[in-house]
């Protein structure tokens, strides 16, 4: 339990540092050690895009599994209800993830003065 709190706190601090100090993220990364070429901002943007792609793929898989569960549960009210609940939770997860992405972009544009 304490390990999870530490990991959440550490990830929150790293996220806050990346959002609050975006100018310091434009430092070029050293390329002689095998790191990607470009700035830290570019690496973070690429990582965010990659994670969003994985998130979308998992959302589609969740929708498909819920649909198949509902299709196979013909006549069984309990199984149909379970499939409906899974679909509801998968939709809520996608909405929460997309709201989080919108908030991150809004805070980033506010801190950069782009609005």
Look at residue 17 in the predicted model and tell me its pLDDT.
Answer: 53
The DSSP code sequence of 15-55 is: HHHHHH--GGGGSBPPTTTTPPSSBHHHHHHHHHHHHHHHH
The whole-model pTM stands at 0.54
Look at residue 105 in the predicted model and tell me its pLDDT.
Answer: 77
**Higher local confidence (pLDDT), 109 or 67:** 67
- Give the mean pLDDT of 4-8: 61
Residue-wise burial string across 3-14, b where 16 or more C-beta atoms lie within 10 A, e elsewhere: eeeeeeeeeeee
Boundaries of every domain in the chain = 39-115
* Highest mean pLDDT of the ranges 30-34, 41-45, 47-51, 57-61: 57-61
């Amino acid at each position: 339990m304490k390990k999870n709190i530490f990991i959440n706190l550490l990830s929150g601090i790293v996220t806050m540092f990346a959002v609050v100090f975006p100018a310091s993220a434009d430092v070029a990364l050293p390329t002689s050690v095998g790191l990607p070429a470009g700035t830290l901002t570019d690496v973070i943007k690429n990582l965010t895009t990659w994670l969003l792609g994985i998130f979308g793929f998992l959302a589609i898989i969740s929708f498909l599994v819920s649909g198949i569960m509902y299709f196979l549960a013909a006549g069984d009210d309990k199984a149909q209800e379970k499939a409906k609940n899974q679909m509801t939770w998968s939709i809520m997860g996608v909405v929460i993830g997309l709201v989080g992405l919108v908030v991150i972009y809004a805070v980033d544009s506010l801190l950069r003065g782009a609005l």
